[in-house]
A and B are shown apart, each in its own frame.
Chain A
Amino acid sequence: MTSNLQLNAEGKLKHFLTIEGLNKSLLTEILDIAESFIGMNDQQIKKVPLLRGKTIVNLFFENSTRTRTTFELAAKRLSADVLSMSISTSSTSKGESLLDTIRNLEAMFVDMFVVRHAISGAAHFIAQQTAPHISVINAGDGQHAHPTQAMLDMFTIRQIKKGFSNLRVAIIGDILHSRVARSQIQALNILGAAEVRVIAPKTLLPAHVESLGVNVSHNLTAGLKDIDVIIMLRLQKERMTSALLPSESEYFKCFGLTEDKLKIAKPDAIVMHPGPINRGVEIDSKVADGPQSVILKQVSNGIAIRMAIMAMAMQKQGAV
């Protein structure tokens, strides 16, 4: 099981590849440690020496701005030496295999890989193959998992809603292709949310989606009733060309979050989005920039949560 690979013999985090298989107390520990880092954002010197002398390599086989930047900042605030590589433009275009890339970087004495890859299972594969002293953090693999994003979302929810047990959470949009949604669903279920609901047309839902532990709705108006937390997902343009949807405008009409639709949810509902947002496609600008939106808070929290996870994964090497 993945969980065995992620945890060391003492049950501590070694890699962070997926939410699956982690228990509530470990997820809560991540949130608590992140909490202790959050105050640092306002300090004059935004640095702690926890990972001084450690080398972290951000291996991004797929483009990303936000995730890569927050990982880089998180590593720097922990005083690690950090190197960010966009692999799509270097080795693999020369025909080097994923494994060869990893072996070469290992030979440069790194301590941690932060991996973003377009194929499901890539981070897991690297964790399996890499030298035992190296930790692997999954920064998003294919359609499988994006566990640090899910944890920063949990952090943001806990910050505002104080807990999970009474919460009804709706995740809206392209669940089929979303690694974020898969990790969020797992985290919400482990942390004990009252309900996780997915709202999407059938073309954007994976087979047997209920087996993930969610209720399903194909109608935004009906689906938003009693909801405390609304999570919107980004809609990729290619979904139209692959006949999953007819048009952006029809999608917006059915599943776009507008001020009117937002009123159906609970009055104190919060609106989240993992970014980058498509204004006027899945979300109206007035909602994205409105008082119930916590989208930018999510981004800020991303640094603290990634610091917490990196520090915990390095525990075995004497950090924290």
Chain B
Amino acid sequence: MSQIHIKQGRIIDPANKIDRIGCVYIADGKIISVTNEPAGFKPDTVINAHNQIVCPGFIDLSTRLREPGQSRKATFKSETVAAASGGITTLCLQPDTSPVIDTQAVAELVKELAEKAGYPQIYPIAALTRKLEGTELSSMLSLKQAGCIAVGSANQPVRNLLILRRAMEYAASHDLLVMFRPNDYWLGNNGCAHEGSVATRYGLPGIPEEAETIALAQCLELVELTGCRVHFGQLSCKRSVIKIYQAKKYGLKVSADVAIHQLHLTENDIIPFDSSYHVLPPLRTEADMQYLRQGLTSGTLNSICSDHQPHDLDAKLGAFPETEPGVSSLETLLPLMLKLVAQNAITLEQGIACLSENPARVLGIKSGALTVGYAADVCIFDPELEWQVNSDNWKSQGVNTPFWGQTLKGRVTQTLQGGKIIHCLE
């Protein structure tokens, strides 16, 4: 197989504590050396990475590609091209597809669609309960054997705590990670915006932060009871960060992430009724946003996910509460992370770790690092290159991004997945 020489880039590999100018050598899909040229290395491809950053390919803990079931919104084909152009080489797929990922057959279908799209590193997250209905356990072991990397309940809370307890116990028995977005069904009360002054002024049904913090507190208690490994996804408020901090200090085996848009936007952005800002959990206050940023700095939150949710145009055309929540966000992930660095919220090394090393640890996979012997998942980006979010540059089928029309800084020039170049900026 081919040999690739990535030449003279600034290598940032947080897992191996590397930050220096150098070369990366790839052969047979694997990283064979960093910095030192191996003897007899004869590259078929040389990538000049001068003035660019070379880092591990990004791992996204929460995405929706809309297949199977909703190909009018997006397809594996369209979204994997978008992922590749955003430097993302591994995607975790939420189970709320149609049908739900709750049988081996659906999990296998996902793997097959991934292969067909030429982007094999898509890991399905299996449903924690059958049809995500929260009443019966899914066949977690079979789902694990079919390639599911974890189990979760997507946006559908398990309302019955006894079922949740048993699901966590069963997952722990098979050493399965549970990925959980804490959200109390009843307190959420079908709301669509943060229960605060903006929702009050505009008469929007509110979701209090307690819908998240109470569900989180309950689940943390169950972590202690069951010994289950849990990763909390897409946290949205200050008090959730505090709860995770305390739980870790107490010794619980938990980790947590935040969706990239929560680090840049607040409830004020929806004024007056802008559906492109309709997300779940809802955008909260400035204080929450600042605290989520601090959570990354301190390491309480160890990963940033895209929480990619592409939609068709109709989904966002309507009165705010009737529109569908979610942002198409694979392609803005890197520039928005770099914006955090530019605003001194995190260091560049931390930002890259939150997108690579740390999510790899959460999933327990040999990835997210430029370690010799690992699959060559590499992202090469120009941190200074500016680009406009518009139809010329956008790859995702979903154009539902609040950043549409904005000029962002930082663009991926090449992406390698298992040593194969899956994106090359023209």
Contact = CB atoms under 8 A, between A and B. Distances in A.
Contact of B271 (A1, A117, A206, A208): A1
A211 B197 contact: yes
B2 interface: no
Interface string A127-151: 0010000000000011111000000
B200 A120 contact: no
Given A1-B272, A182-B203, A208 B197 contact: yes
A119 B200 contact: no
Given A207-B196, A208-B197, A120 B203 contact: yes
Interface string B187-214: 0000000011101111111101000000
Contact of A207 (B199, B202, B318, B320): B199
A121 B199 contact: no
B237 to A, nearest CB: 14
Contact of B319 (A142, A145, A207): A142
B322 interface: yes
Contacts of B318: 97-99, 125
Nearest to B271: A1
B338 to A, nearest CB: 30
B118 interface: no
Interface string A82-107: 00000000000000011100000000
Interface in A7-50: 18, 20
A320 interface: no
Given A99-B318, A207-B195, A125 B200 contact: no
B392 interface: no
B383 interface: no
B272 A2 contact: yes
A208 B202 contact: no
Contacts of B202: 120-121, 144
Contact of A212 (B195, B201, B273): B201
A98 B201 CA distance: 24
B193 to A, nearest CB: 9
Interface residues of B, number: 22
Contacts of A194: none
A54 to B, nearest CB: 26
B201 A120 contact: no
Chain A CB within 10 Å — which of B202, B204, B205 has the most?
A: B202
Nearest to A175: B200
Interface in B288-330: 314, 317-322
Contacts of A5: 272
Contacts of B201: 20, 182, 211-212
A143 B314 CA distance: 23
A212 B200 CA distance: 8
Contacts of A182: 201, 203
B273 A125 contact: yes
Chain B CB within 10 Å — which of A20, A117, A121, A124 has the most?
A: A121
Contact of A120 (B196, B271, B314, B321): B321
Query: Binding site of A, secondary structure by majority: helix, strand, loop or mixed?
Result: mixed
B320 A120 contact: yes
A296 interface: no
Nearest to B192: A120
Given A119-B321, A211-B200, A124 B208 contact: no
Interface string B168-197: 000000000000000000000000000111
Contacts of B199: 206-207
A119 B323 CA distance: 11
A97 B272 CA distance: 21
B188 to A, nearest CB: 14
Contacts of B272: 1-2, 5, 18, 121, 124
Contact of A145 (B195, B203, B206): B203
B314 A97 contact: yes
A208 B203 contact: no
A101 B320 CA distance: 17
Contact of B273 (A97, A124, A143): A124
Contacts of A121: 202, 204, 272-273, 319-321
B88 to A, nearest CB: 33
B319 A125 contact: yes
Chain A CB within 10 Å — which of B201, B271, B314 has the most?
A: B201
Contacts of A222: none
A122 interface: yes
Contacts of B195: 207
Contacts of B205: 120, 143
B273 A206 contact: no
A4 to B, nearest CB: 10
A209 interface: yes
Given A125-B273, A212-B200, A207 B321 contact: no
A190 to B, nearest CB: 14
A179 interface: yes
8 contacts: A5-B272, A20-B201, A99-B317, A119-B322, A120-B203, A144-B204, A207-B206, A208-B196
Given A120-B273, A144-B203, 7 more contacts: A97-B314, A97-B317, A98-B318, A120-B320, A206-B206, A209-B200, A211-B200
A-B pairs with lowest CB-CB distance, top 10: A143-B203, A144-B203, A121-B273, A211-B197, A122-B319, A206-B200, A119-B319, A121-B319, A121-B320, A120-B203
